[in-house]
A and B are shown apart, each in its own frame.
Chain A
């Protein structure tokens, strides 16, 4: 390097030239790093929106549930005078009112009565897989293939498989003990949430479970996605084939009460119509037999949520896990007075294992963000791991951008296996391989890309796309609070100028929406400003209006219904015990009053009756609640873009009838006619949100 003195370039010139290059390089680097920082900021904002929406849903669910629990507590066993919802709910939880001794045998018999596969014939039109038990490896492979072509497994086989799985699960202890002494490695898979493509991706990269290839599935394989049934079938088939190499931990979504809100109940209803009830009951019971945790070679604890400072693994290994049909309540009965201290303690253990999240600071607090479980600090992790002589905690439960995240000095590893969880491009999925005698961690990331094999899109584009969806979701939430927001905006604007300051705008949104978001940073996406920098607050609604296809009630009531759509759906489904999709007028009225009571909002009884009557289109006294829930429309009065708009935001499940003959039953035809009538009603007002 130093011996180039022979060169004739004047040293001065060369140094200025290279200095110039360096200065230019720095300039570009500085600018590029700022550009990336801004992108990162946008990504964070987007993430905050998705997470806030998700967790506020979880909070509502618990609020609703606690509300029922409180009501039930006040009610005495005199069941005749009870509101219908309470009877429905306690039946749903099979309150052991008439049987003093709950025996497992009696329970098995009862369950079989509800879900006996032998009562079901496989029709000649059925074109899916035929299963014979015991299963073999080639049947598993055929199952995987048949689900790829969107074929449904017949109700008969599904029930058989669930019964087999349940019997085997019952023999397992609360804490699985896994070892890698033979296989030398083991794979841990986190939340899958009904996303079959992600499971297939894992199997594609990592192979099917076998004696040499053990797997731990760490809970939350159902809900949210559209293939919870198929994922369950494949996981259970793997488990039946390799009962000592496949470990399935329970997650907080392996719980009927969660399934009511988060889609699994809806999916089963759609796919199995008349058989749905039996299938759901069996799933509900099976979930309560899932082990709560797995320990690998006495070194690594794998659990869905996490820990708390009171976690006692000895207590956990002794309790009766089957007692917790739902983890949201301490016992099967709602008779809180008879819940003992011990029962409460056991319940807290289970709740903490399934619902907790780690936090960065020391200490342990109730998890108020989610509404259940604990936040545990690094000191809690160290204490519990040391107490049981463990090295590491592997947990899932939280979506992470990279599909995994280390915290607590690398002692806690979060692993999340559903890619594109919030939206296409929002996050990677990952699974974990533990190898060698010291169980070292190797993470494999992936992102399922269903639609295109195109060139990888850039970070920038991906963020813009995901951001757009997040803003759309947020705008819909805002629209649900329009009346209340306008009232508050106006109170900041006594002179009726149509403008308020940015700070006022942010305060109103934060107060009314009850979401702590960087409103100021997002403001340009949500509302316009005048040249002086004041917010033209009416632009917060982008000239959009919310309608309901079949009620003619006032705006604020439509908004109220829209805002609480998910909670209402939950209540409807609790009423709808036979899973028919319809409820009586009386039940509908009661559902609305329950919802209103939890919300601390006043609506007159007459208004409720009006809504109920306007929905009963064929005047038979029954209301199709799916129809009701799907009739919300967001309308742009200027009709910029007239196309259909799916309000629910979830993609439609492919409805494949298990048997052709089932699809054309008379009742179904009536339903179709009714739907057509309703959609005609809606067509007039249908229109796509314009994403200005």
Chain B
């Protein structure tokens, strides 16, 4: 065999081994990421599993999904639920159905929350006249009439935290940064 062929073969082999090693490392990372994600999902699910039998109330699944850091809209949430609900809905969701669906969502980083500046922009869109604040009535109107409306209780809770006690309106820039800090 000509020498250069051997060389080339060696080179190929080396690259292949290199590649394989890389793949292994990557695989290891993915594995530990996967284990980590699945543990998080299990923990969150267990907190809502009041009966300790690996089921949760279907009405609480949205809270579980969102508490895991996802930001689906109500429609998207509805679709996710439809995917994991029993053929004959029992009002409960089983862990064995929830885990693979949620693992996929988290591994693919779907429904990631938007960064803080996007949220701020959204508030700015609602603030037509660029006043830097929204009145209680404005915010209540947008939140309970547009998009996927809030229930009255949800709305009251939001306002109770959002309204600046002195000015009586929503200083949204401050509100957004306060809320994002609290989350950390």
Contact = CB atoms under 8 A, between A and B. Distances in A.
Interface residues of A, number: 38
B5 interface: no
Contact of A360 (B51, B143, B154): B51
Given A503-B39, A520-B39, A41 B114 contact: no
Nearest to B159: A458
B14 to A, nearest CB: 30
Contacts of A520: 39-40, 43
B43 A518 contact: yes
A460 B47 contact: no
B161 A25 contact: no
Given A29-B150, A520-B39, A34 B125 contact: no
A27 interface: yes
Interface string A29-41: 1111111111011
A48 interface: yes
Contacts of A456: 160
Contacts of A360: 50-51
Interface in A313-368: 359-361
A373 B52 CA distance: 18
B51 A359 contact: yes
Contacts of A680: none
Contacts of A22: 146-147
A37 B122 contact: no
A585 B6 CA distance: 89
Contact of A31 (B36, B46, B114): B114
Interface in B48-100: 48, 50-51, 53, 62-67, 69-73
Interface string A506-522: 00000000000010110
Contacts of A31: 71, 113-114, 119
Interface string B162-176: 000100000000000
A459 interface: yes
Contacts, number: 113
B47 A48 contact: yes
Nearest to A455: B165
B182 interface: yes
Interface string A542-564: 00000000000000000000000
B42 to A, nearest CB: 9
B118 interface: yes
A32 B159 CA distance: 11
B160 to A, nearest CB: 5
A359 B64 CA distance: 21
A28 B122 contact: yes
Interface string B114-134: 100011011101100000000
Contacts of A361: 51, 53
Interface string A1-35: 00000000000000000001111111111111111
Contacts of B142: 21, 24-25, 28
A241 to B, nearest CB: 40
Nearest to A522: B43
A44 interface: yes
A44 B113 CA distance: 23
Given A29-B147, A30-B73, A44 B43 contact: no
B interface SS class: helix
A29 B71 CA distance: 9
A301 interface: no
A458 B160 contact: yes
A interface SS class: helix
Nearest to B57: A360
Interface string A605-629: 0000000000000000000000000
A27 B46 CA distance: 29
B44 interface: yes
A683 B103 CA distance: 54
B161 A460 contact: yes
Nearest to B139: A28
B16 interface: no
A94 to B, nearest CB: 40
Contacts of B179: 35
Nearest to A460: B161
B66 A33 contact: yes
Contact of B143 (A28, A35, A458): A28
A460 B182 contact: yes
A488 to B, nearest CB: 19
A199 interface: no
Contacts of B126: 21, 24-25, 28
A449 B114 CA distance: 39
A45 interface: yes
Given A22-B146, A359-B51, A38 B165 contact: no
B158 A41 contact: no
Contacts of B39: 503, 520
Interface of A: 20-38, 40-41, 44-45, 48, 359-361, 455-456, 458-460, 464, 502-503, 518, 520-521
Given A21-B142, A37-B67, 8 more contacts: A24-B142, A26-B148, A32-B158, A34-B70, A34-B113, A37-B65, A45-B47, A521-B43
14 contacts: A21-B126, A24-B126, A25-B146, A28-B147, A29-B147, A29-B148, A30-B113, A36-B66, A41-B63, A361-B51, A361-B53, A458-B157, A460-B161, A518-B47
The 8 A-B pairs with the shortest beta carbon distances in the complex, nearest first, are: A37-B66, A25-B147, A24-B122, A41-B67, A25-B146, A26-B147, A24-B125, A34-B66
